[in-house]
Structure 1
Amino acid sequence: MRFSVFLNARTTAADQDRQLILDLVDHAKKAEDLGFDAIFLPDHHFTGYMPVASDAMMFAAYLAGQLKKVHFGFSVTSVPLHSPVRFAERVNILDQLTEGRLLVGVGSGTTPEEMIGFGVNYKEASAIAEANLAIAEKLWAKQIDDAPIEFENGPYKGKVLQRIAPAMYGKRHARLMPVAMKEASARRAAEHGWPAFIPAFTPPNIGGTEPLKHVTKYFTAYRAMLEAAGHDEAIVADALSWTTHTYQCVHIAESDDQAREELEIILRAYQAAVDREKYYNDAAERDAANHKTDDTPMALTEDWIATWCLHGSPKTVADHLAPYAELGIGNVLCGTTTGPLDPQRLEWANRTLDLLARDVMPQFKSAQ
């Protein structure tokens, strides 16, 4: 089982942005030094979710110049917010800079306010995402002497005459990682031999107290499709080794009681930030075309904690992960910096990295 770090910290004011960027660079370096397998970044805009998320690929390129062992991933790229040409180009640049250590999560996005800022109709986001990915595949395959590729998709239109530069690092473009919630997304990952994100809930309920049940359902379906797709054993093994289950908040302390007490402090700050952002989101979502229809439970509810959190002593955390490892989950994505990143929160995040690396990861790494 692999372990990766999700840099999902927030700020709540503009004067905090620079310090957060510096702190996340240091946190990522610490993760590599401790033996974590990858650094993942979110892709979000305008919401205060995370300053570097407004251009996660640029931040990953900066980190790639300093971190030479870890993979880099995105959880997940909101495909409708990216020109298909720029998406294809930037993926190839990162593929080259990381020497193929790249995993590009792809999805249709979650927040109407973000769509409004990019001129995308929220209700059309899924269709635009599907078409953008199809266009990107054509662009990656295009040779310089091939006929021009012309497209028109939502706010994006163009005609590519030559080829995408730079070329991809390997024989295939960087691995994309769909969310294996919809059958079509799981099948896309399986047929291409890509990893997938495995959700822990089933809509319309964005939470619940039985995450393993949902993870088992989605993972089993994805793995069956992958194994039936006719790939070489090496491609199947690689895809499964990166197939990812995400915890938005991972918090470890010496005892369960200490971890729970600190987790509640973290989640109260997180929820306050979310509520503040919702105030502005609600102001943006005034027309029916941009109204979000699902609803996530409050962070301090047991539904949210059971679905999105991994917390406790090292032993409790290892015991929790054991059935996921037995199921075959290849990569655990750990949100170690969830919420506003003040000095206390950063200290706890670094302690979580230390305890994971010292007391949890060796139990699962030895099985590789």
Structure 2
Amino acid sequence: MRFSVFLNARSLGPDQDRKLMKDLEAHAKLAADLDYDAIFLPDHHFNGYMPVASDSFIFAGYLAAQMPKMHFGFSVVSVPLHHPVRLAERINILDQLTDGKLLVGVGSGTTPEEMIGFAVDYKDAGRISDTNLALVEQLWAKQMEDPAVVIDNGPYKGRVLQRITPSPFTPGHARLMPVAMKEASSRRAAENGWPAFIPAFTPPTIGGTEPFTHVKKWFDIYKGFLLEAGHSEDVVKSALDWTTHTYQVVHVAESDDQAREELEVILRSYQDAIEREAEFNARAESDDANKKTDRTPNALTDDWIGTWCLYGSPETVLEHLTPYAELGIGNVLCGTTTGPLTEQRLAYGDQTLRLMAEKVMPALKAAVPA
């Protein structure tokens, strides 16, 4: 089982942005020193919502130069917010800079406020995402002598006559990672030999009191499609090695009681930030084209904690993760900096990194290829 760190911290004002970026850099370096496998970054915009995520490709490239053995991933790129040419180019550049150690999670986005900032209606996000991905595949495949690729997708226009540069490091292109919340996205990942994000809930309901049941359901669907696709053993193994289950908040302390007490401190601050962001989303939802179809539960409810959080003593966390390892989940993505990144929150995150590395990961981390 692999372990990855999700740099998903928030800023509450412009005076915090630079310190947050430097703190996340230090946190990522600590993760590399402790033998975590990958750093994942989000893709978000506005309102102090994860400042490094406004161009996480740049931040990933900056970190990759400092930690060349680390894999890098995105959880997830909001595809409707990217011109397909720029998306194809950025992925190829980062694929080259990381020597192919790149995993690009893809999704259609979550917040109307971000959509209207890029002239995309929330109701059109799914369609624009699907078309953008198809265009990106065409751009990656295009040779100099091929006919032009014509782009006409919502706010994105263009006509590409030559080819995308640089060429990718990975044959074809870097690995994409669809979110396997529908059979269609599960099948797409499987047929291409890509890993997938395996959710702990079934949309449109966000949450669920039996997260392992949902993870097993979607993992079994994805793995079934993967085995049916006729790939080589190496392709199947690589896809499963990086098939990922995500926890928005991972917090480990010396005892269960300490972990729960500290988790509630983290979640209260996180929920305050969520409510602040919701005010701006409400303005974006002022017309029917930008109405959300789902609502995120309060982070302090047992439902949200049960679905999105992993916490406790090292022994409790190991007990929790063992069934996921036995199921075949290849990578656990740990949100160790979720919420506003205060000094206390950063200390909690570093504490979690160390306790996971010292007392949880050795029991679950089998030998894996570089």
TM-score of the two chains, using structure 1 as the length reference: 0.99
Unaligned runs of 5+ in 2: none
Tell me the number of residue pairs that the alignment of Structure 1 and Structure 2 aligns. 368
**Aligned residue number for residue 199 of structure 1:** 199
**Aligned residue number for residue 328 of structure 1:** 328
TM-score of the two chains, using structure 2 as the length reference: 0.98
CA contact (8 A) 2:204 2:293 kept: no
Distance 1:283 1:356, change over 3 A: same
The separation in 2 between residues aligned to 1:256 and 1:226, in whole angstroms, is 38
**Aligned residue number for residue 231 of structure 1:** 231
**Aligned residue number for residue 259 of structure 1:** 259
Secondary structure at 1:334's aligned position in 2?
strand
Q: CA deviation at 1:366?
A: 3.8
Distance 1:164 1:366, change over 3 A: closer
Q: CA deviation at 1:182?
A: 1.1
Unaligned runs of 5+ in 1: none
**Aligned residue number for residue 40 of structure 1:** 40
The separation in 2 between residues aligned to 1:199 and 1:170, in whole angstroms, is 27
The separation in 1 between residues aligned to 2:47 and 2:325, in whole angstroms, is 34
Structure 1 consecutive aligned stretches of length 4 or more whose deviation exceeds 3 Å: none
Residue 17 of structure 2 aligns with an amino acid whose one-letter code is: D
The separation in 2 between residues aligned to 1:319 and 1:366, in whole angstroms, is 17
The separation in 2 between residues aligned to 1:204 and 1:136, in whole angstroms, is 27
Q: Kindly provide the CA deviation profile for residues 203-250 of structure 1, in whole angstroms up to 9, marking residues without a partner as x.
A: 232012210000000000000000110111101100000000000000
The worse-fitting range, judged by mean Cα deviation, of 279-288 and 89-98 is 279-288
The separation in 1 between residues aligned to 2:116 and 2:91, in whole angstroms, is 24
Secondary structure at 2:360's aligned position in 1?
helix
Residue 149 of structure 1 aligns with an amino acid whose one-letter code is: V
**Aligned residue number for residue 246 of structure 1:** 246
Q: CA deviation at 1:367?
A: 6.6
Q: How does 1:125-274 map to 2 (within 5 A)?
A: 125-274=125-274
**Aligned residue number for residue 319 of structure 2:** 319
Q: How does 1:329-368 map to 2 (within 5 A)?
A: 329-366=329-366
Secondary structure at 2:66's aligned position in 1?
coil
**Aligned residue number for residue 18 of structure 2:** 18
**Aligned residue number for residue 83 of structure 1:** 83
**Aligned residue number for residue 92 of structure 1:** 92
Secondary structure at 2:202's aligned position in 1?
coil
Q: CA deviation at 1:104?
A: 0.3
The separation in 1 between residues aligned to 2:43 and 2:170, in whole angstroms, is 25
Residue 282 of structure 2 aligns with an amino acid whose one-letter code is: D
The separation in 2 between residues aligned to 1:133 and 1:205, in whole angstroms, is 26
CA contact (8 A) 2:104 2:175 kept: yes
**Aligned residue number for residue 295 of structure 2:** 295
Q: Percent identity?
A: 69
Secondary structure at 1:65's aligned position in 2?
helix
The separation in 2 between residues aligned to 1:318 and 1:311, in whole angstroms, is 10
The worse-fitting range, judged by mean Cα deviation, of 48-57 and 321-330 is 48-57
The separation in 2 between residues aligned to 1:118 and 1:21, in whole angstroms, is 24
Residue 16 of structure 1 aligns with an amino acid whose one-letter code is: Q
The separation in 2 between residues aligned to 1:170 and 1:82, in whole angstroms, is 21
Secondary structure at 2:152's aligned position in 1?
strand
Q: CA deviation at 1:27?
A: 0.4
Q: CA deviation at 1:121?
A: 1.2
Secondary structure at 1:125's aligned position in 2?
helix
Distance 1:366 1:193, change over 3 A: closer
The separation in 2 between residues aligned to 1:217 and 1:363, in whole angstroms, is 25
Q: How does 1:59-138 map to 2 (within 5 A)?
A: 59-138=59-138
